[in-house]
Structure 1
Amino acid sequence: MRRAWILGLLIAVLTIAPSAFSQPKLTDIQNHWARSCVESLSQKSIIRGFPNNQFRPDDPVTRSQFAAMVVNAFPDQMSAPTRAPIQFRDVPANFWAQDAIQKAYRSNFFSGFEDGTFRPNLEIPRVQALTALANGLKLKPTNEIELTNKTFADLRDIPNYAKSAIAATTERKIAVNFPNVQRLNPNRTATRGEIAAFLCQARSDTKGLISDRYLPNPERQAREIRGVWLTNIDSDVLFDQSKLSNAVNELARLNFNTLYPTVWNWGYTLYPSQVMKRDVGLAIDPRPVAAGLQNRDMLKEMITEAHQKGMAVIPWFEFGFMAPKDSELAQKHRDWWTQKRDGSTDYESAALDRVQIPVWFNPFKPEVQQFILNLVTEVVDNYDVDGIQFDDHFGLPVAFGYDDYTVNLYKQEHNGKAPPDNAKDPEWSRWRSDKLQAFLAKLFQTVKARKNKVLISLSPLDLPYAYENFLVDWDKWRQAGLIEEVIPQIYFQGQKFDDRINPNTWKTLRAARDHIPTAIGILSGLSSTPRPIDELQRQVKAVRDQGYAGMSFFFYETLWNKSPEPIDQRKSGWQSIFKQKVQRVSLVNP
């Protein structure tokens, strides 16, 4: 209660008495989707930042805070009250927002509860904020628009009392849904950034500062990520120009819209790389199995074909910091290897036991970081890509990190204390994970400085597994604004999400879903165990029912080339899943 009271007094100064301060530049909204809106409202003294020049756009908003913002935003309504004053039992005369609450109540923006309380410190859900605006501004749906599942994928979550208000605010482009325009998330607490967007769209002098792609429209075609990973394992689609062209054409015909081709694995690039040529004298994968990559540029071919058909191409740096022990790159740079507590360097994995044993390059070492940055920037600079993607190989297996460089770095930052012998020690894990985040921030900034439209995508394992085993705390990275699309490798079976997965996984997924495009990785099968199309149809339905931004399938060959049904039957199944072409959900693309 004391904390809420102090915060309330601070908000009072920042919202009710705006003339007391100048208008400092807000430092934490530079990459926020509602930046223009926040800046405009701040300049008009309708909303304010905090004393440290931060706006905290993702912080929750309470009922009293929203009342104060409404009073500032709509002075005309406040001057023509329609109700008599009321004394709420839980709003004393000296409460910081008492005057604002009274004005908002008398102007019909707010009502109290049946027990005579206002509950000023209760966080306000999005649906209640929109309903308050509809009530106070006296908005009704003039065109009798019909809210359908096409308008909102989570229509069933909208309370009956609010449907008229939601219809009215949708029609007037006040309801703002970021990042997925089809998800209202009605019962989730509204954030400061979202409230700013609502207020912007509700005022005539600031309307239009929010992109139309975040404004639900019953007539707008749905958006959905429909991706597929294309690999060079158990598949030769990347090794033959004709096969690649046919694959892109057929995927486009079946209404897929995103390709994730592997471009870095087994210690080689699958595109002609000058970075690799300078380092080890090999510009492209030289192995006999990859002979079809020679004398051509697979990535350029794919991008040309895909863009002609309106498909996105997001190269997948599959191996991240990992490389085969016997590869030219690993042998030349043995000083890059990290190691376990016992000094061993081999990374054992059941998924890789039939190939060369990999080692893990030290992700904290400047030379290793620069190598990865060079590969990424080479692709971003030389190709018209729509994004880049990493997975858990952008992390570090938790057993590793006991090489001399990392140990000395840890000691420097811990008064000479060595890392714990326990590889899963909480502080040791957090330290390493935070170092990975720092490099991701550097990579993010580097890419954006070159081509701001190139999105940063991650396809990790689920949490907490990804963090506990690979130090990939991707939800923390998402909260830091370093990931613009996430496609966790859930690979659930049956017609609903697997109950065996940690419940925190779904909590994390839902949180990510509400802030960035979050699709679900679906296993269409391995070469030896392809999955039947009816199972995949049920899984797609489950993903859609949960309101995720789409799905991506692992992997291309098991879409139809290697499947339990005849190819024609299999393709008909995909046509029933993706009945028409749609644009993909994205934070950065139009």
Structure 2
Amino acid sequence: MTERKRIINRIILTVLLAFPVINVCSPALAVYAQQEFRGMWVATVYAIDYPSSGYTADDQALRADALKLLDDAKDMGFNAVFLQVRPSGDAFYKSKIFPWSKYLTGVQGKSPDNGFDPLAFFVDEAHKRGIELHAWVNPYRVTASPADNSLLHKSSPALLQPGLTVTHTDGRIYFNPGESEARQLIIDGIKEIIDNYDVDGIHMDDYFYPEGDFNDEDAFAKYGSGFTDIGDWRRNNNDLLISGIYGKVHEKDKGLSFGVSPGGIWANKSSNSLGSDTNGSQTYYKGYADTRGWVKKGYLDYILPQIYWNIGYVAADYAKLVDWWADVAQGTNVKLYIGQAAYKAGNTDITSPWYGVSEIERQVNINRNTNNVSGYSMYTYNYLRDNHELNSLVRLLNGTYGIPSVSGAAFSGEAVEGHLLTASYIYSDPLNRPEENTVFEWYIADKKSADYKLLQGEQSRTLLVKKEYLGKDIRVKITPKNKEAQGIGVFGDNGCNTAIAAGDVTRDGALDHKDALLLLQYTAGLVKLDFQQKSAGDYNNSNGINTADVKLILDYSIDIKH
């Protein structure tokens, strides 16, 4: 090297030592089937799912229905049940705040025979089967029909404290979210559940403010100071409720979870620049539920959007919405589960996207192949029970048909040009059959599109990172096999899966003085590098980063530019 180049090198290093450090990535495994959350909704309003025998006070019939339901859930491979315990200002459990539900015994305020407590029974029996039991609460609805208004039990808080309610323009009664005492009543009701029952969590669905005109102008006049728009005030009321419930749940037990299952569209992009590429009903504007904000503010442990449309549906594409929600959950501690419309499967019209059950299978596979998606829940039990083709598919998807599975799907090695990646996983089989001919498929995608393409001919357990992969994300799909059965293919990576060139520790696609600077800072102990950067930084393959690597990269940079 000439003296002139040495001087230039010194000048570059001196001037650039103050440059900011680039971001690093950390290892993160993709979700895999064996660990996914697999929920099932059990609706009790109008006895949709329970009691399956219809409204009854017969404790033996109620027990039998519950046992059948939970046995089916276990057989189908579900590991969580959302039991609707307060469909309409009432209770499927012994409560000092809300009367017994009419959807249980047929008459509000009438208890089941022999002191039977459905929630306590469900919790005990679910846990015996290794199933989580989440108490599903509808917060504001007091009556599901105007005909019920005159049938409220005398102990209903809607009658005891009528000032906390609103009669909607549709004739139904709701607790008024604008009244702080009404919100506190709901929170107190949830505290009663978590204090007295060993539930695994509290769950809410998409029912917040009802659509249409809501008669809360008086409350807005009293409490809405500081808000020029009634919609913003209503959203704030919901925010106060959700954050209050989250705090109460975790005040009781850090291990409990609280989550919401809103409609699948927070807002359309045409209405809000942060919204999804959709054209449908928006929870932000219709129910005044800022569900995206609840995720970003950490008011929830999980979000479970009901994406009840098919893949490719123009107004609300399932695949696009899964990606949108995955992006919302990115960087938060809020888990993302997806709500599946099991009730739509089995359409007899051969032209319908819901013909048969293939749509559900495709959707579950999208979930499993999307980062940040940790599971799903299906609506609702009776459709899963009665649709035998769907029942069989769910058993297959959930691994209860004796098929092999893989867990911990990932790859070891660094996505650096010239390096070798090796698929890693744990094989298991419920019948203890040995692994044989497991299939490995490697995919790459542009970071912007996330549209993964299969690398033809790359079917071994290892992959050599080639120059043409630089700047692209790499994933491996592992499909477990043995002589008798093939399992479900799952994707994995190692968290730092964007292929980079040797020396490109800044991951900006160029090998220049910025890379040399970062390596110099590393050798001086000023910054940390992740494992992929360390591999790329060992430019001379000496099994360690030192000033020789810095010098080589500077030489390369100057030779190219001069």
Scaled to the shorter chain, the TM-score interval is 0.5 to 0.7
Alignment of 1:129-528 (within 5 A): 129-130=24-25, 175-177=26-28, 181-182=29-30, 222-232=34-44, 233-237=47-51, 240-277=62-99, 285-287=104-106, 293-294=112-113, 295-318=115-138, 320-324=140-144, 325=146, 326=149, 327-328=152-153, 329=156, 330-338=158-166, 345-347=168-170, 357-395=171-209, 397=211, 399-400=213-214, 402-410=216-224, 412-413=225-226, 427-461=229-263, 462-464=265-267, 465-493=282-310, 496=311, 498-501=313-316, 505=321, 508-514=324-330, 515=332, 516-525=334-343
The structure in which a higher percent of residues are helix is 1
Deviation at 1:534, TM superposition (A): 2.9
Maintained 8 Å contact 1:398/1:468: no
Maintained 8 Å contact 1:229/1:259: yes
Q: Partner residue of 2:468?
A: none
Structure 1 Cα separation of the partners of residues 368 and 79 of structure 2: 16
Secondary structure in 2 matching 1:228: strand
Deviation at 1:552, TM superposition (A): 0.6
Structure 1 Cα separation of the partners of residues 189 and 117 of structure 2: 15
Amino acid paired to 1:245: L
Taking structure 1 as reference, are residues 391 and 473 closer, same or farther at Cα in structure 2, changes over 3 Å only?
same
Maintained 8 Å contact 1:237/1:243: yes
Aligned residues: 352
Structure 1 Cα separation of the partners of residues 11 and 73 of structure 2: 63
Q: Deviations over 1:254-300 (max 9, x none)?
A: 211010010011332111212225xxx88995525998944311111
Structure 2 Cα separation of the partners of residues 433 and 253 of structure 1: 41
> Normalized against structure 1, the TM-score is what?
0.53
1:87 counterpart = 2:5: no
Query: Paired residue for 2:394, among 569, 574, 578?
Result: 574
Structure 1 Cα separation of the partners of residues 79 and 363 of structure 2: 18
Q: Which one has the largest radius of gyration?
A: 2
Identity of aligned residues (%): 19
Maintained 8 Å contact 1:519/1:550: yes
Structure 2 Cα separation of the partners of residues 273 and 283 of structure 1: 14
Amino acid paired to 2:283: A
Q: Structure 2 unaligned runs (5+)?
A: 1-8, 53-60, 268-281, 349-353, 408-562
Taking structure 1 as reference, are residues 292 and 534 closer, same or farther at Cα in structure 2, changes over 3 Å only?
farther
Structure 2 Cα separation of the partners of residues 408 and 442 of structure 1: 21
Deviation at 1:526, TM superposition (A): 6.4
Secondary structure in 2 matching 1:276: coil
Deviation at 1:446, TM superposition (A): 1.6
Q: Partner residue of 2:474?
A: none
Maintained 8 Å contact 1:320/1:391: no
Amino acid paired to 1:537: E
Maintained 8 Å contact 2:42/2:50: no
Deviation at 1:500, TM superposition (A): 1.5
Structure 1 Cα separation of the partners of residues 90 and 11 of structure 2: 72
Structure 1 Cα separation of the partners of residues 104 and 62 of structure 2: 14
Structure 1 Cα separation of the partners of residues 49 and 259 of structure 2: 23
Structure 2 Cα separation of the partners of residues 485 and 310 of structure 1: 20
Query: Paired residue for 1:541, among 351, 361, 365?
Result: 365
Amino acid paired to 1:298: P
Q: Deviations over 1:431-487 (max 9, x none)?
A: 321232123222211221112211111000121100110100011111111011111
Maintained 8 Å contact 1:463/1:508: no
The structure in which a higher percent of residues are strand is 2
Secondary structure in 1 matching 2:335: coil
Query: Paired residue for 2:17, among 99, 107, 115?
Result: 99
Structure 1 Cα separation of the partners of residues 317 and 231 of structure 2: 20
Structure 2 Cα separation of the partners of residues 176 and 243 of structure 1: 45
Q: Partner residue of 1:558?
A: 383
Structure 1 Cα separation of the partners of residues 396 and 357 of structure 2: 10
Amino acid paired to 1:99: L
Structure 1 Cα separation of the partners of residues 200 and 223 of structure 2: 36
Alignment of 1:64-79 (within 5 A): none
Q: Partner residue of 2:466?
A: none
Structure 2 Cα separation of the partners of residues 99 and 307 of structure 1: 58
Maintained 8 Å contact 2:322/2:367: no
Deviation at 1:392, TM superposition (A): 2.6
Taking structure 1 as reference, are residues 228 and 487 closer, same or farther at Cα in structure 2, changes over 3 Å only?
same
Deviation at 1:363, TM superposition (A): 0.9
Taking structure 1 as reference, are residues 284 and 501 closer, same or farther at Cα in structure 2, changes over 3 Å only?
closer
Maintained 8 Å contact 1:320/1:390: no
Structure 1 Cα separation of the partners of residues 406 and 214 of structure 2: 43
Structure 2 Cα separation of the partners of residues 267 and 477 of structure 1: 24
Structure 1 Cα separation of the partners of residues 240 and 234 of structure 2: 10
Maintained 8 Å contact 1:255/1:582: no
Structure 2 Cα separation of the partners of residues 290 and 391 of structure 1: 24
Q: Deviations over 1:294-325 (max 9, x none)?
A: 43111111111111222111111135445345
Deviation at 1:407, TM superposition (A): 1.7
Deviation at 1:225, TM superposition (A): 1.2
Taking structure 1 as reference, are residues 241 and 364 closer, same or farther at Cα in structure 2, changes over 3 Å only?
same
Q: Structure 1 unaligned runs (5+)?
A: 1-83, 102-119, 131-174, 184-219, 340-344, 348-356, 420-426, 584-590
Structure 1 Cα separation of the partners of residues 117 and 166 of structure 2: 33
Maintained 8 Å contact 1:262/1:316: yes
Taking structure 1 as reference, are residues 577 and 86 closer, same or farther at Cα in structure 2, changes over 3 Å only?
farther
Maintained 8 Å contact 2:345/2:359: no
Q: Deviations over 1:515-545 (max 9, x none)?
A: 3211111111169969633332222122223
Structure 1 Cα separation of the partners of residues 162 and 43 of structure 2: 27
Secondary structure in 2 matching 1:525: helix
Secondary structure in 1 matching 2:136: coil
Maintained 8 Å contact 2:133/2:201: yes
> Normalized against structure 2, the TM-score is what?
0.56
TM-align CA RMSD: 3.5
